[in-house]
Structure 1
Amino acid sequence: MCGIAGWIDFERNLMEERATAEKMTRTMRDRGPDDEGLWLSPHAALGHRRLSIIDLEGGRQPMVAEENGQPVAVLVYTGEVYNFRELRAELASLGHPFRTHSDTEVVLRAYLQWGASFAERFNGMFAFALWDVREHKLLLVRDRMGIKPLYYAPTPHGVLFGSEPKAILANPLIRAEVDDDGLRELLLFCKTPGHAVYRGMREVRPGHILTVTREGARERAYWKLESRPHTDDLKTTVRTVRELLEDIVARQLISDVPLCTLLSGGLDSSAITALAQRALLAQGAGPVRSFAVDFVNNERDFKPDAFRGTPDGPFVADVVRHIVSEHTDIVLSPHQLMDPEARAAVLGARDLPISMGDMDTSMYLLFRAIRQHSTVALSGESADEVFGGYSWFHDPQAIEMPTFPWMSTSSRHIGSRTRALAPELLARLRLDEYIQDRYQEALAEVPRLEGETGLERRMREVFYLHLTRWLQILLDRKDRMSMATGLEVRVPFCDHRLVEYLFNVPWSMKTFDGREKSLLRAATADVLPRSVVERRKSPYPSTQDPEYGRFLRHQLAALLMDEHAPVRPMLDPAQTRALVVGDGEDGNQPARASAEQVLMLNSWLVRYDVRRVSSAPPGEGVLGAGAVSRRP
């Protein structure tokens, strides 16, 4: 796992731009703490920061393929191709020489053999840039599910690119500007594919290749979800899910550095941990190492709600006893969650004020603690989107609403994140209209199955919306929090073979036992303790310690006292003061979300020197005339 950055310019001599190219590359040092490389030519600069996972000595980048002593292709790559050994054997049989044992060289040689169709052969999570020296052509490629990020910004004579926006913002050709659509994306929990928030910047869509030449850029899909009839009976379907999961987990255990699993005591992470334990023991390795997050005094503070019916701790303990993993609990205090340096690290990892509050900070702290023991972790992320685990999947009212199901009561969803914002700003942004426009765009993409009607037709839409609009939020969060600590997190449930198979399983079969994630439960029940098999869905934990809510109110009060705080023109003073007063809202999640949004927005405006937040004529933007953020 690594970070990449680069610059293509067909008019400028980039041999003279080493300092800028190095600056772009070094913004990726947290993603790649082990090594740095830069390759320069007159029209291409490719930078790489490496986190060494496979072939620690031979996998250095940028990697260059040569013919007759001359470079023909150069690659900077982040991620893992899990079937690289099979591909390596095939390419070797076709006459390709190999100098290393890395998957990076397999990707490079695959391009030389199969051209732009090479991406279709990879099983993995990846984002990479390949410069074809002979044709003066750049390929930016992103994995099918969008597990690894890849951003770009067109310029008058080429393109800038990087694993994160900060790499592009390090180049003087682009500034941190955000227009109205960017603000809308920030405020709504719905990620529009390709949208990068910063004006002039884009994100390569999952399953797409962007090709850049002197003539311009074009993007094409090499993979997309397809609808087809499901012909397997229930028994065969359950067996196929189990066989796929065993193969996926075994592949994703490949590593030349210490590896572990993330364990919450829920069905998803417990299944991955149990299957990893079985695979490691079968290899004569193991036991698997597992890590869980918890909070000081969580047993005292925990109160069941509509989403979290039970704390994680007892179920984690059941799994550890059942499979006999080597386990560590990472227990966090309110003071750690409130630590200014940790909160600043979260913003620096995100590059944007898109926040899940203490859940982001706790995830960052969890990954930082894990990194002291392991470099790779397997996660249960995305099982809910693939198998149908969220409560709203099973709420007829939410399913029938003509919007994204997780926004089934749109005003409640928007209100929790925009409560403190100025009415004139909200009136200008027309968030309800924006949601509906994005919803209709997404519906138009859904691959239909001839003859499918009623609930089955609607549930196909629901799964498509989650896999393409909701899951991206969670994958992006996990990637940023993990890579900010130099930890590679793998997501077995995002294997495209499993996603393709389950996308076409009828809803009636996915819920055959009347519960959520019926197929996953049936496929893994034999390796799990009964308590976990019977446990209801519980999301990633959030602290319920009232001290954390008081901290947010104190921070918000200090912000309101700062006349120069750049976020102030965006706020409704009365609503913001109400959040400060609190009135017993220290444990109220919507109130906390509003406070977190305001604090994160202000920190972002200051830190990133956002010069303009407007789609209006200069001086008439949503911040008010002349209201731009400036570093103090």
Structure 2
Amino acid sequence: MCGITGWIAFRRDLSAEQAALDAMTATMLCRGPDAEGTWLSPSAALGHRRLSVIDLTGGVQPMVAQTPDGPVVLTYSGEAYNFVELRDELRRRGHTFRTASDTEVVLRGYLEWGEGVADQLTGMYALGIWDGRVDRLVLLRDRLGIKPLYYYETEDGVIFGSEAKAILAHPEVEPVVDTDGMRELFAFVKEPGRSVWAGMREVKPGNLVVLDRSGLRERAYWRLEAAEHRDDTETTVRRVRELLEDSVQHQVVADVPQCVLLSGGLDSSALTALAGRHLAERGERTRTFTVDFEQPEAFRPDELRGSQDAPFAREVVEHVGTVHHDIRLDHQELANPEVRRATVSARDLPFGFGEADNSLYLLFKAVREHSTVALSGESADEIFGGYPWFHHPTVQQAPMFPWVTASGLSPKSHPTKLINPELLVGTLDVPGYWQQRYAQSVAEIPAVPGEDEHERRMREFCYVHLTSLLGMLLDRKDRMSMAVGLEVRVPICDHRLVEYVYNTPWSMKTFDGREKSLLRAAVQDLLPRSVVERVKALYPHTQETRYVRELQRQVAELLSDDHRAVEFFDRDALTKAARGLPEAVEPDEREAFERVLDLAVWLDVRRPTIKLS
């Protein structure tokens, strides 16, 4: 998978900046535990940490192509799943190859097509190319934003990296969070291109950034486009299956052990069955992993998690014939402050998904003992309409981000009621920010002639899920997996599948009266009937009261120490909740515990300067 970083400066000699480059590159150790490389020239310094997945002995980076007019150098993270086809095409065009890596294909692709290489790639990637022939940097990010990439403009160039921590390691970058950054943290709405750190930007999904001596420019090479869908339901179901089959087939290519993350839901079960077929053709059995918690008999269904994962996962294991591992977590592991410190450090952010981040990190840590690559079902709910709130009339009618409305929100409230209201509604004006961001998001959606009001509304639903919520989930998956050196691939994020399903009408997405109708119909022959009929359940969490009790104890310590994190919350409400019976703690109070603990770790680790205006 790898981690990348770099520094471009046109008015100083970077050849003497090895120490700064090493410090930046070292922050990417977890993303690339297998090898390290750097390359320096007067105007460019590039760093790379490698997780070896394809061509384990080749593919060393930064990779350099010497040309008569100067070097072209690539630092690259990710996978180009169509690299075999591209390599064949480039050979026909006269290129020769020294390695079997996709890295060299990307580099040669740039030599052939320039910035147009972006249009040729299928996969997940973030890369930086220094073109020494013309003194130009090209930063490129995949279409869905599966791999992260940040940059920070300086007076004479730019600093970039896979994660914010690489840029923050630069001696001239200060860890400052301003009002806009804090608003982004508290709103639970991701604005493409924004970073919480002042002066730092994220390369938008489907975009490339070009820097030369005339300045910096960013442009989109891909975006979701609206088009009339002409296929009937039967044809659409068949096409969904074809696209999914092709994506999985390309993504089970690796020179290291691989597996599937199996929840027993429709998405991961379909990937398990499809991967199982392709691996069986090579004489391999599929490995699967399922996360579970101690005392599963204590499970109590609710409207978001109506059933446990493990029983359905076992049915898929028996049906497909996988080599299976149950990863069972206890409340002490989940509440361990060192685990929280690891997850917050990996995110570079204080607010994520709380316990779900901790359990995902522990799951990935266990998986990494057996496999280097894992397939996961991210984006199926966003693409096919899987979340319960997609189908709630009240949520459908609200001009607001659906997951915000579904959390029981109005423009005057927030899912965590224990946040300091003067900060939330006053200084940050999160409700106003929601309204502004939602209006901006839906305004950029291209219209389809003849689309009725309800179809237009549901197109908006799908669009904001794909451009905001999915970004948060992909970022979470990337950070938790790369924190332990595990590459997680997301076949349903194949941009061809996303484009096709995005333009199918809502009436077709729900043709059987249920969520994810198209996906269910496309894979039903592969799975046990119970899994095909299973109702969507969100990522599981522990229902152990001992876990809540431990959170209360840790929050009480923060209150006692008068930790800086507490000032961002309603102290009286937080104190009352921390002293209550654990079984009486409300969901929003539990979420507040997670957030204040995460914030405390972030403030201790990152020591940001917070400037509120």
TM range (shorter): over 0.9
Amino acid at match of 2:575: R
8 Å Cα contact 1:6-1:46 kept in structure 2: yes
1:602 paired residue number:
600
Equivalent AA in structure 2 for residue 581 of structure 1: R
Question: What is the CA deviation profile of residues 72-98 of structure 1, one whole-angstrom value per residue up to 9, with x for unaligned ones?
Answer: 210000000000001001101111111
1:325 is aligned to 2:328: no
* Structure 2 unmatched ranges of 5 or more: none
Aligned to 1:589: 587
Q: Deviations over 1:173-222 (max 9, x none)?
A: 21111111111111122100001101110000000000011221100000
Corresponding residue of 2:283: 285
Report the Cα offset of residue 415 of structure 1. 3.0
Q: Give the Å deviation of 1:400.
A: 0.6
Distance 1:368 1:584, change over 3 A: closer
1:571 corresponds to: 569
Question: Is the Cα contact below 8 Å between 2:421 and 2:570 reproduced in 1?
Answer: yes
Contact 2:412 2:431 in 1 (8 A): no
Structure 1 position 263, deviation (Å): 0.0
Deviations 1:570-590 (A, max 9, x none): 232211212212344566322
Between the aligned partners of 1:585 and 1:303, the Cα distance in structure 2 is 13
d(CA) in 1 for partners of 2:430 and 2:583? Answer: 26
Correspondences of 1:166-565 after superposition (within 5 Å): 166-281=165-280, 283-299=281-297, 301-408=298-405, 409-411=408-410, 415-421=414-420, 423-424=422-423, 426-563=425-562, 565=563
The Cα shift of 1:418 comes to 4.8
Q: CA deviation at 1:610?
A: 0.8
Q: What percentage of aligned pairs have identical amino acids?
A: 55
Equivalents in 1 of 2:584, 2:87: separation in Å? Answer: 56
- 2-side partners of 1:414 and 1:63: how far apart? 51
Match of 2:24 in 1: 24
Contact 1:187–1:418 (8 Å) recurs in 2: no
Deviations 1:90-129 (A, max 9, x none): 1011111111110000110111111111111101000000
Q: CA deviation at 1:338?
A: 1.4
Q: What letter is aligned with 2:120?
A: R
Contact 1:479–1:489 under 8 Å retained in 2: yes
Cα displacement (A) at 1:284: 3.0
The separation in 2 between residues aligned to 1:373 and 1:128, in whole angstroms, is: 28
Query: Which position in structure 2 is the counterpart of 1:98?
Result: 97
Q: Deviations over 1:494-519 (max 9, x none)?
A: 00000000011111111110000011
- Measured against aligned partners, the alpha-carbon deviations of 1:237-294 in whole angstroms (never above 9, x if no partner) come to 111111111111000000000010000000000000011001111x232211000000
Mapping of residues 112-127 of structure 1, within 5 Å: 112-127=111-126
What whole-Å deviation, never above 9, does each CA across 1:44-84 have from its counterpart, x for those lacking one? 0100000000011111100000125x742100000000000
Aligned to 1:13: 13
Residue identity in the other structure for 2:591: A
- Read off the aligned partner of 2:573 and give its amino acid letter: Q
Determine the C-alpha separation between the residues in 1 that align with 2:191 and 2:279: 39
Q: 3-state SS of the aligned residue for 1:140?
A: strand
* 1:418–1:186 Cα change, 3 Å: farther
After superposition, the C-alpha distances for 1:368-398 in whole angstroms (9 at most, x for unaligned) are 0000000000001110001110011101110
Offset, 1:172: 1.7
Call closer, same or farther: CA 1:585–1:441 in 2, change over 3 Å: farther
Structure 1, unpaired ranges of 5+: 617-632
Distance 2:255 2:580 in 1: 51
Superposition deviation, residue 567 in structure 1: 1.8
Q: TM-score, normalised by structure 2?
A: 0.98
Q: Which amino acid aligns with 1:55?
A: D
CA contact (8 A) 1:550 1:586 kept: no
SS at 2:184 equivalent: helix
Structure 2 partner of 1:621: none
Over 3 Å counting, the alpha-carbon distance change for 1:237 and 1:348 in structure 2 is: same
Q: What RMSD, in angstroms, separates the aligned Cα atoms of the two structures?
A: 1.3
Pair 356,607 (structure 1): closer, same or farther in 2 beyond 3 Å: same
| SS of structure 2 residue aligned to 1:46 | strand
Deviation at 1:354, TM superposition (A): 1.9
Cα contact 1:145–1:496 (8 A) shared by 2: yes
Q: Aligned to 1:417, what secondary structure does the other structure show?
A: coil
- TM-score if structure 1 supplies the norm length? 0.95
1:629 alignment partner in structure 2: none
Contact 1:81/1:122 (<8 A) preserved: yes
CA distance in 1: counterparts of 2:558 and 2:540, whole angstroms: 28
| 1:73-152 paired onto structure 2 within 5 Å | 73-152=72-151
| Distance (whole Å) between structure 1 residues aligned to residue 552 and residue 575 of structure 2 | 9
- Distance in 1 (CA, whole Å) between partners of 2:23 and 2:171 is 11
Aligned residue in 2 for 1:620: none
CA contact (8 A) 2:566 2:596 kept: no
Residue 59 of structure 1 aligns with which residue? 59
Task: Report the Cα distance in structure 2 between the residues aligned to 1:377 and 1:582, rounded to whole angstroms.
Answer: 41
Partner Cα distance (2:600, 2:431) in 1? 24
Contact 1:48 1:62 in 2 (8 A): yes
Aligned amino acid, residue 176 of structure 1: P
Range with bigger deviation, 416-425 or 262-271: 416-425
In 2, Cα distance between equivalents of 1:585 and 1:100:
59
SS at match of 2:416: helix
Q: CA offsets, 1:408-459, max 9 Å, x none?
A: 1424995333514253554111110011010011011111111212211111
Q: Which amino acid aligns with 2:366?
A: A
SS, match of residue 415 in structure 1? coil
**Secondary structure of the structure 1 residue equivalent to 2:303:** coil
Q: Quick one: distance in 1 between partners of 2:313 and 2:46?
A: 44
Measure, in 1, the Cα distance between the counterparts of 2:330 and 2:584. 16
Offset of residue 568 of structure 1: 3.2
Question: What's the secondary structure of 2:564's corresponding residue?
Answer: coil
Q: What CA distance in whole angstroms lies between the structure 1 residues aligned with 2:468 and 2:282?
A: 41
Partner secondary structure for residue 446 of structure 2: coil
Match of 1:623 in 2: none
State which drifts further: 573-582 or 261-270.
573-582
2:414 counterpart SS class: helix
CA distance in 1, matches of 2:49, 2:423: 44
1:50 and 2:47 are equivalent in the alignment = no
Q: Give the whole-Å Cα distance in 2 for the aligned partners of 1:411 and 1:542.
A: 26
SS in 1 for 2:87: helix
Moved more, 286-295 or 605-614: 605-614
Offset of 1:305 from its aligned partner?
Answer: 0.7
Say which SS state the counterpart of residue 415 (structure 2) adopts.
helix
For 1:586 and 1:600, locate their aligned partners in 2 and report how far apart those are by CA, in whole Å.
Answer: 22
Deviations 1:131-177 (A, max 9, x none): 00011100000000000000011011110100000000001221111
Moved more, 210-219 or 405-414: 405-414
Q: Cα distance 1:424–1:165, how it changes in 2: closer, same or farther (>3 A)? A: closer
| Paired residue secondary structure (1:597) | helix
> How far apart are the structure 2 equivalents of 1:566 and 1:541?
31
Measure, in 2, the Cα distance between the counterparts of 1:426 and 1:218: 35
1:156: which partner in 2?
Answer: 155
